[in-house]
Amino acid sequence: MKTGTGWILIAVLALSTVFLFSNVTAEITNVQSVRQIVNEHIDRDALYLSSNSTIVDANGRTFAELNNGTNRVYLPYSDIPETVIHAFIATEDKRFFEHHGFDATGIARAFLANASEGGIDQGASTITQQMVRNIFLDHSRTYERKVSELLYAYELEQQYSKEEILELYLNSIYFGNGAYGVEAAAQLYFSETTNQLSLAQIAFLTAIPNNPTYYDPFKDEAAHTHERKEWVLQKMEEEGFITSAEHNEALEESIVLHRSQLKNEFPDYSDFILAEFKMLIRQLENMEEAPSEEVEARVNELLKQGVTIETALDPDRQQRLVDSVVRELPDNAQGAAMVIDNDKRTIVAISNGRGYERGNLMYATQSFRHHGSAFKPLIDYVPYLEETGAPLTATFNGNPSPNCAQNSSKQTVGCVNNYNHAMPGVVTMREAFKHSYNVPAEYMLAQVGVEKALSYLEPFSFSKLNDEERGLALALGTVDVSVYEMAQAYSTFAHDGKFAPAHGIVRVVDEHGETLYQWDDVKEVLVWSKETNDKMRTLLADVIASGTGKGITLGQNGYIGGKTGTSSQYRDLAFSGLTDKYTASVWVGRDEGSVEDLSPRRPAMNIWETAVRE
């Protein structure tokens, strides 16, 4: 009895609403109009639906999708297949292109049907009304909400075209399992885009929104979904959208689900890109001093707008690098690497750790460890060559001093040991470098002065440099640095001593392909002279030809140079170097304990070789 009374009230209210809009509203001059009242409650911003953002590689191919809690791939009306439109028109609102937001005939028909059944069996909501519920209102069954729905729907029809409303509707409806909109549903259930779907698949998807829980394709072998799919096809034929033959063919087609997850093929690189995106926003939106939470909120806001982050990722090199880290390291060891394209100054590949998963510690950027002798070129040799102009034939005593000489700063000089306590005697600079003797390196730093030597590192912004004791121990590379920082610094050797930072992000564009953000052009900084750079390239090449890196055999023409590094007690192994095309840095270690057992296999060098191979 109560149900019947309720539907009588709805019918009366609906008919009254029609009367109001058609006859009364135009005559009201001294009071606020219905349109003004409804407009005050419509939030136009709500019509902008969040959408998945994507990260694409250097070839424009998507390798990562980001949904920030709402899985939606927004489709403009022009990209929505006609069959999808027909399926929803036939089943949800066959008079959609004729009514003005609500269907009085449909309301009356539903009222009579429900009254005869003595319950709520049929609804009368148009597509516009459903869109209103999805975006502005809720799904409660009250008379007040129903009237609001009618008023909102009418007003929206006055301000938006049918195509715009249908576009919003098909992108806002819920298809279950976290998917909003028909494109996200197609990708979730079939791993295909909507324009790749068959008629049967479209009818199958069209069945779901009516009751996403009951028609969940992943439950009960989709029995309920298939049943409603058949009903969808029947309605499409009744409305003339498909032929009887097409109907029968669709019924015979076997529906095979291919559940997909959001794509993230290279989490090492995508997580790095998201971190770099925050850096980009800080710089371009003048948020350098803003709290991390504020920057995070701004980035999340942008990612909900369906932006595309274009990157320099070389997918083949990335895959080889990740595979190499897994191949070269046992389960209880870790490693990280980064590769820079010298000409473009872009980051083309990065490994953030063995078996890296999204959200893990990014060893390439967030782990700071000693790189040992790989740091000597920057702290010892470059400053010494630049300040003294010494030739590569300059000689040094390679043996520890028995007297432990004192320099003017009262710091002990010459009391360090060489690797394996080597006593090479007098050596040239080239010999000292390629064999990584510690004593000559310390003498160089002592002669230049620690503070002067450190000044050459300022353009590279080594984040932990000020945390270290500023003494001669720095000569041996006792500085906590990241792989990211080392690769950036070493790239200077590829540019005649000039430095500009490399980035992974090329630009960020909106859904229309318009550029939103890209890095400002940064003027190169001359860190050291071309003469010093040429000498350093010779020293680095000696390491590969006849020094500690002689096992590297790239089998390619052109320049190859680098430097090995081992920290105290074999806690870390490292290699940084460059070819004509690429600069790369590699670190290998364990969170606890040494990697001396791995040293004979030279994993850092092997990973580096894979990283830069053409």
| DSSP-assigned states of every residue in 428-462 | EHHHHHHTT-HHHHHHHHHHH-HHHHHHTTGGG--
Asked if residue 245 and residue 371 are part of one domain, the reply reads no
Decide if pLDDT at 35 tops 60.
Answer: no
Tell me the CA distances in angstroms from 375 to 89, 190, 300, 482, 565, one per residue in order: 68, 51, 37, 11, 8
Residue 141 is predicted with a pLDDT of 57
Residue 330 is predicted with a pLDDT of 97
Q: What is the pLDDT of residues 374-398, one digit of tens each?
A: 999 999 999 999 999 999 999 999 9
Q: Is 329 contained in some domain?
A: no
Distance CA 206, CA 523 (A): 55
Q: Is 303 contained in some domain?
A: no
The residue segments making up the domain with residue 19 are 2-252
Residue 22 is predicted with a pLDDT of 45
- Domain end, chosen from 206, 237, 252, is at 252
Asked if residue 102 and residue 240 are part of one domain, the reply reads yes
Q: Is 272 contained in some domain?
A: no
User: 296 and 278 in contact (C-beta within 8 Å)?
Assistant: yes
Decide if pLDDT at 121 tops 70.
Answer: no
Measured torsion, CA atoms of residues 274, 193, 91, 148, in degrees rounded to the nearest 10: 20
Catalytic residue chosen out of the listed positions 50, 51, 65, 92: 92
Q: What is the pLDDT of residues 266-325, one digit of tens each?
A: 999 999 999 999 999 999 999 999 999 999 999 999 998 899 999 999 999 999 999 999
Asked if residue 199 and residue 50 are part of one domain, the reply reads yes
Catalytic residue chosen out of the listed positions 373, 482, 491, 576: 373
Query: For residue 350, which of 582, 590, 581, 556 has the smallest C-alpha distance?
Result: 582
| CATH (domain of 155) | 1.10.3810.10
Distance CA 355, CA 610 (A): 17
Q: What is the pLDDT of residues 292-308, one digit of tens each?
A: 999 999 999 999 889 99
Distance CA 333, CA 274 (A): 26
Q: Is 505 contained in some domain?
A: no
Residue 24 is predicted with a pLDDT of 35
- DSSP E strands in 288-417: the ranges are 308-311, 334-341, 346-351, 369-370, 395-397
Residue 395 is predicted with a pLDDT of 97
User: 372 and 572 in contact (C-beta within 8 Å)?
Assistant: yes
What percent of the chain clears pLDDT 90, i.e. is strictly above it? 70
**Cα 45 from chain centroid?**
26
Query: For residue 64, which of 409, 463, 433, 358 has the smallest C-alpha distance?
Result: 358
Asked if residue 243 and residue 390 are part of one domain, the reply reads no
Write the single-letter amino acid at 492.
T
Asked if residue 54 and residue 178 are part of one domain, the reply reads yes
Distance CA 344, CA 505 (A): 12
Asked if residue 581 and residue 457 are part of one domain, the reply reads yes
Residue 298 — left, alpha, or beta (φ > 0 → left; ψ -120 to 50 → alpha)? alpha
Confidence of residue 427 (pLDDT cuts 50, 70, 90): very high
Would residue 92 show up in a list of annotated catalytic residues for this protein? yes
User: 425 and 400 in contact (C-beta within 8 Å)?
Assistant: no
Distance CA 579, CA 557 (A): 10
**Cα 555 from chain centroid?**
34
Mean pLDDT within 174-184: 94
Q: Is 261 contained in some domain?
A: no
Write the single-letter amino acid at 396.
F
Of 30 and 96, more confident? 96
Asked if residue 376 and residue 245 are part of one domain, the reply reads no
Domain count, the chain: 2
Would residue 252 show up in a list of annotated catalytic residues for this protein? no
Distance CA 55, CA 67 (A): 12
DSSP H or E stretch at residue 159: helix 143-159
Decide if pLDDT at 572 tops 60.
Answer: yes
Residue 158 is predicted with a pLDDT of 84
Residue 111 is predicted with a pLDDT of 56
Asked if residue 375 and residue 246 are part of one domain, the reply reads no
Q: Is 399 contained in some domain?
A: yes
Residue 133 is predicted with a pLDDT of 78
Among the listed ranges 60-74, 102-116, 123-137, 365-379, which one has the minimum average pLDDT value?
Answer: 102-116
Q: Is 141 contained in some domain?
A: yes
Query: For residue 610, which of 373, 362, 341, 328 has the smallest C-alpha distance?
Result: 328
- Domain end, chosen from 236, 252, 268, is at 252
Query: For residue 556, which of 523, 583, 579, 585 has the smallest C-alpha distance?
Result: 579
Distance CA 193, CA 182 (A): 9
Residue 231 CB coordination number (10 Å): 14
Q: Which own/partner pairs from 464-467 qualify as long-range (CB within 8 Å, at least 24 positions apart)? A: 464/368
Partners of 560 in the beta sheet? 579
Token look-up 């990708």 returns 187
Q: Is 613 contained in some domain?
A: no
Decide if pLDDT at 16 tops 60.
Answer: no
Encoding tokens for residue 87? Answer: 């399926």
Beta strand pairing call for 395-397 and 515-517 = unpaired
- Domain end, chosen from 252, 268, 295, is at 252
3-state secondary structure 76-102: CHHHCCHHHHHHHHHHHCCCCCCCCCC
Asked if residue 371 and residue 247 are part of one domain, the reply reads no
Decide if pLDDT at 525 tops 50.
Answer: yes
| CATH (domain of 527) | 3.40.710.10
Tell me the CA distances in angstroms from 591 to 329, 361, 369, 588, one per residue in order: 14, 12, 10, 10
Q: What is the pLDDT of residues 347-376, one digit of tens each?
A: 999 999 999 999 999 999 999 999 999 999
